[in-house]
Amino acid sequence: MAKASQSQTEAYRRQQKKAKPPVPWARNLFWAFLVGGLICTAGEAVLKFFMAQGLRADQAAVPTSAVMVLVGSLLTGLGVYDELVRLGGMGAALPITGFANSIVAPAMEFKREGWVMGVGARMFQVAGPVIVYGLVASFAVGLVWFLVHGGTR
Amino acid sequence: MDYVWAFLVGGLLCVAAQIVADGTPLTPAHTMVLFVVLGAVASGLGLYEPLIQFAGAGASVPLPGFGHALVQGIIQESARTGWVGLFTGGLAATAMGVTAAVLFGFLAAVLFNPRG
């Protein structure tokens, strides 16, 4: 296959940029703020519930994440969360409910490809990278911390 | 007041992510990865814990809170068990969220069918 020349590639890029509709910034940011803020407010209510059971704030954050994941999974199963992502963009994707959505949606979608290579493999399409780079970054940060603060222990 | 700060901080983190997703070539998935990494780095620098103290779920529910939980788990475990904690602390601290997501993901695949 012939390779496109530099100028052809540039021309294509320019054309593509022109063809893309402009980003409706005000609308996108407004809905991201509202949807993300409301999900976190709901999370705060769950957090307060577990703190009322006698858990410290940092301890209560653990079951809170599980409850938020349950709610996100349920809303994804019912087809509601994908609408929320369409409306709120990153406002729905960034909270842990969106992490749950990124696992549940492909798990349902790829059932037709089988339970192992469909559901089992595809559910980590987005969650996999999040966990991989989360672990790599946190290991690096933890190692630096350990060498600076804890190495003498 | 706690609810107001949770709403504002959580909302603003999502706005920041939306700016990245709309204003750069990064996809939403790339943005999610980026924010987990940013949360881990901010946690190591001691910047994220004050935000959690201030905004509660507004800081712990968005994905940077996941990066923060990983780092704090590693720091606490390695203070207790030495270098072994570098390997065990992160996943141990986030086990409930990750296990819940995989479990519910599987159950949803059993119970529900995608629309369309």
C-alpha of A81 from chain center: 12
pLDDT digits (tens, 9 = 90+) for B50-97: 999 999 999 999 999 999 999 999 999 999 999 999 999 999 999 999
C-alpha of A86 from chain center: 14
pLDDT at B28: 96
Looking at the complex, report in whole angstroms how far the Cα of residue A18 sits from the nearest Cα belonging to chain B.
15
The answer to whether B23 contacts A33, with C-beta atoms less than 8 Å apart, is no
Is residue A6 situated within a structural domain? no
Helix, strand, or coil (residue B116) = coil
Beta-carbon contacts of B86 under 8 Å, excluding residues fewer than 6 positions away, are A139, A142, A143, A146, B74, B77, B78
pLDDT at A150: 67
pLDDT at A110: 95
B-chain residues near A129 (CB < 8 A): 29, 32-33
pLDDT at A109: 93
Virtual torsion, Cα B98, B99, B104, B105, nearest 10 deg: 60
Is residue A16 situated within a structural domain? no
Is residue A19 situated within a structural domain? no
- How does residue A106 score in pLDDT terms, banded at 50, 70 and 90? very high
pLDDT digits (tens, 9 = 90+) for A28-72: 999 999 999 999 999 999 999 999 999 999 999 999 999 999 999
Is residue A90 situated within a structural domain? yes
The answer to whether B97 contacts A66, with C-beta atoms less than 8 Å apart, is yes
Is residue A11 situated within a structural domain? no
Mean pLDDT rounded to a whole number for chain B: 96
Residue A2 has pLDDT above 70, yes or no: no
Can you give the residue ranges of every domain in chain B? 2-111
Q: Which of A78, A90, A130 sits opposite B36 (nearest CB)?
A: A130
Q: What is the pTM of this model?
A: 0.91
pLDDT digits (tens, 9 = 90+) for A114-145: 999 999 999 999 999 999 999 999 999 999 99
Virtual torsion, Cα A117, A121, A126, A130, nearest 10 deg: -160
**Torsion sign across C-alpha atoms A133, A138, A144, A146:** negative
What percent of chain A has a predicted confidence (pLDDT) above 70?
Answer: 95
A-chain residues near B54 (CB < 8 A): none
The answer to whether B109 contacts A104, with C-beta atoms less than 8 Å apart, is yes
* Domain region containing A66: 25-150
Number of domains present in the structure of chain A: 1
Looking at the complex, report in whole angstroms how far the Cα of residue B50 sits from the nearest Cα belonging to chain A.
12
pLDDT at A149: 87
Looking at the complex, report in whole angstroms how far the Cα of residue A1 sits from the nearest Cα belonging to chain B.
27
Beta-carbon contacts of B52 under 8 Å, excluding residues fewer than 6 positions away, are A57, A58, A61, B59, B60, B65, B68
Is residue A85 situated within a structural domain? yes
